Structure 1
Amino acid sequence: MAPFKTVFFHSVAAAVMAYGYSNLRQIPFDIFIRTQKGGHSQYLTIIGLSMAFLCMVFGLGHDLLPTVTVFRSIKRIVLMVALPVAVVVTSVYWNLYLFAPEMILKPLPDEMMPRPDETVPSSASSVPLQRIPLSIDLSLHAAPALALLTDFFFVEKKYSRNQAVYGGLLACFVACVTYGSWVEYLAQFNGAFPYPFLTDNPFNIRVAIYVVLSSFALVTFWIMNALHA
């Protein structure tokens, strides 16, 4: 990309992600989430969003001050983790959202449950799920992956073989252990995990989920790096 285009791209991408996060306060169950230990930081979506936002900010810093190489160096380190995380979040979220929403979306808190309409029998048995407006949803669960993929393939150079193999292994291992330990710790206080598919499974299955998703992220990163010209 030309310098002006990269400045525009990084600015718009960062703004879209900031829009999604800042508007979380507008959704009714935001207050409930903030009362929990860890708040929004218990969600991999928000952690991935933060890393993607940092990549765009450091990318913008490099665009504006190309002689300050530390911006690009830090960006490439963060990108190695942020890119596979964003792809995993987007892939898992939208597939479950469309085909098994009860596995990814929590029911509304009791105090927010609508009173059942006794004249409509089916309404009493259906459990409303926590959904957010589509514009915010796309900013959180699509924009990070799209922005990072665009940045990686059209702005950044591919990682060297050693960087991809050893750096990718280290990054995914650290991310897996860190996030898994974090949500396990928070669940002791909150009584549930941020995602129902974790709450509904015992510890050994949760560990398997962490390992499988981390392995998927690592393989995805290797494939994307191999496809990079």
Structure 2
Amino acid sequence: MKLTLLSLSFFLFSSSLLAQNNWFKLYEDSTSLVNDGKSITAAFTKDIHNIKSTLSFNVNTRLNTTPYLIFYWGENGERTANLPKWDQVIEPQKQFFYEVAGNEADGKKLFGLFFNGFYLPHELGHAVEHYTKGNLKGSYKEEYFANIVAMLWWKKQGRTEELKSCYEMAKKVWAKLPNPIPAGSTMEEYFTKNYEQATQDPYVYGYMQFKQFIMIYEDKSLKDFDSFMINYFQ
């Protein structure tokens, strides 16, 4: 029995590593995307349970391509992380990726790095807040928290090279996006007041998301994932 359990544990660990090795790239196969997403979600969930065993954290990861691209859904009893697949993305959104990344190849790379990559534990970070607070309003602070969770969790997985690639891409894209923030206002003030409106415009929302990523990546004061979450749960 001990050997069987050990073998099972090794298999699950190896499956998680394989899924992570395939991540941060544009997926062409739906089954692989969902299976790898589920493996990453399971690894994240295990980490959360190890930190707070009393939290009944359970999220189903599925393929569900919509104009929201990747998102967490927690209504009507559902707890889902919804993944997008590139060939199902609507054409105007594809053109947005091509434009801000500079060309078609980099547009697809941008999508892979973030939407088949970085943002899955970001959405699971939203799920953590939903489980602990009971509701999500949609706000600048919620996005900042989710981005910290994702950044620290990927660092825990040793994905520094992928995070660096995301960082370089984020800087490139953010530099091209028009600044929507009026004079005399900070980014946090503007997006706190105009969050819902901002989510309807990829240029405006992208300005916030990519800037948050840059800020968090450059923040040397952040603790490791476990320490951050332990402090959060206190």
Structure with the larger RCO, 1 or 2 (CA within 8 Å, 6+ apart): 1
Q: TM-score, normalised by structure 1?
A: 0.31
Q: Which has the larger radius of gyration?
A: 1
Q: TM-score, normalised by structure 2?
A: 0.31
Q: Which structure has the highest strand share of the two? A: 2
